[in-house]
Structure 1
Amino acid sequence: AELDRALAIDPTIVGVNNRNLKTFDVDIDNTARLRARIPAGIAVVGESGIRTTDDVTRMAAMGCDAILVGETFCKLPQKERGKAVRTFVEAGEEQD
């Protein structure tokens, strides 16, 4: 229902939240299920639940153009965040 409303306004980008905002359960396969319904030419952002470089690789394989990662980096000590971001970026670039 939400995806149908989003597609009705002819977007150039769509974010797919992998977190159920009612239960807070996370299922990153939600992106794969919805990605199949998003027409080519619309950028797709996989959001929430991305915790590892394997998750980054999966998001890229699902056809995501970008990902939104927040909690994973925020939970790290400040001095480790830069390295973690670089590692995630490198994992995504390997899929290009």
Structure 2
Amino acid sequence: MLHDAWNDEYDCAVVLSNDSDLAEALRLVRSLGKVVGILCPVAGGPAKDLQMHADFVRPIRSVHLLRSQFPSAIRLPGGSEIRCPSRWYSSPAAQATT
């Protein structure tokens, strides 16, 4: 992220994390004139160290994650099938909708 910002390869970085170890990198990226956003994967909002270096913050809600999952089974061209582990589903109802 920092390397690409330095090389002016993007205008806006969106970080999917709540790891406050990234705060310094976000600060440096913003100092290079880039817009920084955080997609927060935890309830309660992002770590304060991250938030203070972000131009915008958006939550990732459970419904977003459920809507973004692949179907529970995917058939490959050779006929074999890949199945999603049942523990990845939040509820039996969620599994039935995919």
TM bin (shorter chain): 0.3 to 0.5
Q: Which has the larger radius of gyration?
A: 2
State the TM-score, normalized to the length of structure 2: 0.44
- Bigger proportion of residues as strand: 2
- Bigger proportion of residues as helix: 1
State the TM-score, normalized to the length of structure 1: 0.45
